[in-house]
A and B are shown apart, each in its own frame.
Chain A
Amino acid sequence: MTDICDHEIAHREFFKNALGSSPIQGLEVNFTSINFGSCDSVLGTAKAFEDLGVSAYNGAGRLFQSPDYLTLAGKIVSVKARRAALISDLISNGTFANSKVIDSNGLEKSRTPPEVLAIASAFVTTRLNAGNLPTS
């Protein structure tokens, strides 16, 4: 879990760096639905976040104009998928790539940014609206 947290901090700092003077402010999160005294609740939420994260990167890959950024996003998403598999296995061993996340062609899900935001908004107080995203 410490490794995973360190990965996320590294990714956040990487994006802040890449965005230069235009990163968005930190989000106000709402984790009230998570019971931090319950391993099941924390792992279940972690799995939801990781699976969502993978599908978000998979869906957003096609929007990159720069091969360099696409490669970096690829490096981040593969770490995310490895973590998603680990957390899923911690909940129930053998579920690292089950049919809930992989279709019958052996492909993982992709989600568009609006689809991701709609799901993520349950955990974020800051208003998430694709139409209000910064343009520069």
Chain B
Amino acid sequence: MNLINIFGELEKSDPEVYERMDTRRAALKGFASMSGKVALAGIPIALGSMFKKSYGQANNGTVLEILNYALTLEYLEAEFYQMAIARFGQIGVPAGAAQAAITTIGNHDTQHVAFLKSAITATGGTPVAKPNFDFSSGGGSTTGPFANVFLNYQTFLAVAQTFEDTGVRAYKGRAVELVKGGDLLQAALNIHSVEARHASHIRQMRKANNFADIKPWITLKTAVEHPNLLTMERKILCRLVFKLPI
């Protein structure tokens, strides 16, 4: 393990790092005792007020824009999985482990939606409304290239993998803008690693379904051997999330 190296690096770049951690530990201790007193559903709001404290008003615009961007992605994933959960039979998701895994992932994404909405409200912003999604990637026609996404297990898993890998990259990409962002950055990272766990499992499910060379992580080999995945990712991002022409 390379833990000490990391801490050495942190300390090198920020000599006050340990002092700051002590302060943070005290803050977290306070938060822990507070969260013991509020209902579980109230926790995101409490976190939101922590975010507000860790960011001055000057940064709020960017922070809210990033939170709403994350919320849009979570709306997409949450609706995708909730639709799938209601259609396990017609998609052909095997009963047992596969259905349980999709349910687990869907529940997390629904929790992320609730968490982000609460955090946005508590940070003084307004959560964006859920867009209408066309999971066929047809730009609203519902007859796009993945029109059978809820009729074919392999298509469903391919789109799911694209969403999960995209989710991981999206959080990673925007997290950079939150550098030194304290609690908000940490919350983004805490969602980021959950998305990575989802991606890993979806990739294992695909591996078990005729994509034997897919690994739980992204490899150059995978990108070369399945260039259509990259095309698919681009199409989905363009049409569903950013509403741009392909």
Interface size class of B (residues with CB under 8 A): 35 or more
Contact (Cβ within 8 A) A107 B191: yes
Q: How far is the CA of A78 from the CA of B1 in the complex (A)?
A: 16
Given the known inter-chain contacts A15-B2, A58-B193, A86-B216, please indicate yes or no for A65 contacting B201, CB distance below 8 A: no
Contact (Cβ within 8 A) B104 A94: yes
B10 interface contact, C-beta 8 A: yes
Contact (Cβ within 8 A) B186 A59: yes
Contact (Cβ within 8 A) B12 A94: no
Closest to A134 in B: B8
Q: How far is the CB of A52 from chain B (nearest CB, A)?
A: 8
Contact (Cβ within 8 A) B109 A19: no
Majority SS at the chain A contact face: helix
Q: How far is the CA of A114 from the CA of B18 in the complex (A)?
A: 9
Which residues of B are found within 8 Å of A114, using beta-carbon distances?
21
B5 interface contact, C-beta 8 A: yes
Count of chain A residues near B, Cβ 8 A: 74
Contact (Cβ within 8 A) B192 A77: yes
Given the known inter-chain contacts A74-B175, A78-B196, A105-B43, please indicate yes or no for A130 contacting B7, CB distance below 8 A: yes
Closest to A129 in B: B4
Q: How far is the CB of A1 from chain B (nearest CB, A)?
A: 12
Closest to B115 in A: A105
From B6, B11, B180, B190, name the one whose CB has the most chain A CB atoms within 10 angstroms.
B6
A22 interface contact, C-beta 8 A: yes
Contact of B105 among A78, A97, A135, A136 (CB under 8 A): A97
Q: How far is the CB of B153 from chain A (nearest CB, A)?
A: 17
Contact (Cβ within 8 A) B179 A64: yes
Majority SS at the chain B contact face: helix
Q: How far is the CB of B132 from chain A (nearest CB, A)?
A: 23
Residues A92-131 near B (CB distance < 8 A): 93-94, 96-98, 101-102, 104-110, 112-114, 116-117, 120, 123-124, 128, 130-131
Contact (Cβ within 8 A) A107 B194: yes
Which residues of B are found within 8 Å of A63, using beta-carbon distances?
10, 14, 17, 20-21
Residues B156-215 near A (CB distance < 8 A): 168, 171-172, 175-177, 179-183, 185-187, 189-201, 203-204, 215
B: residues with CB less than 8 A from A are: 1-15, 17-18, 20-21, 24-25, 40, 43-44, 97, 100-101, 104-105, 107-112, 114-115, 168, 171-172, 175-177, 179-183, 185-187, 189-201, 203-204, 215-217
A: residues with CB less than 8 A from B are: 3, 7-8, 11-12, 15-16, 18-19, 22-24, 27, 49, 53-54, 56-67, 69-71, 73-75, 77-86, 89, 93-94, 96-98, 101-102, 104-110, 112-114, 116-117, 120, 123-124, 128, 130-131, 133-136
A-B interface, 6 closest residue pairs, ranked by CB to CB distance from nearest = A106-B111, A81-B196, A85-B200, A82-B200, A107-B190, A85-B197
